[in-house]
Amino acid sequence: MTVEDVIKAYRCREPEKRIPVLRLELDYELALLHEAMVENNPHLVDQCKSRLRELRREMIMLEAL
């Protein structure tokens, strides 16, 4: 987490509206990860994991506000 991430989170005036959208994004990315694992696609698995890490960080910051 960087200073820019914290500033971005504080500038978001409506985190309660972002959290439900973020949950949908998490669900979608988890579904993509599942597909990538079933298809044995390591490149896509890595991409999904990276995106999930980003979404997780954002969720933690929003919930802390």
Q: Could you tell me what percent of the chain has a pLDDT over 90?
A: 52
All structural domains of the chain:
3-64 (1.20.58)
User: Which one has a higher pLDDT value, 30 or 3?
Assistant: 30
The pLDDT of 27-38, averaged and rounded, is 97
Q: Using 50, 70 and 90 to split pLDDT, how confident is the model at 30?
A: very high
pLDDT at 1: 57
CA distance 36 to 58: 23
Q: Which pLDDT band, with edges at 50, 70 and 90, does 35 fall under?
A: very high
Instruction: State the Cα–Cα distance between residues 1 and 5, nearest whole angstrom.
Output: 6
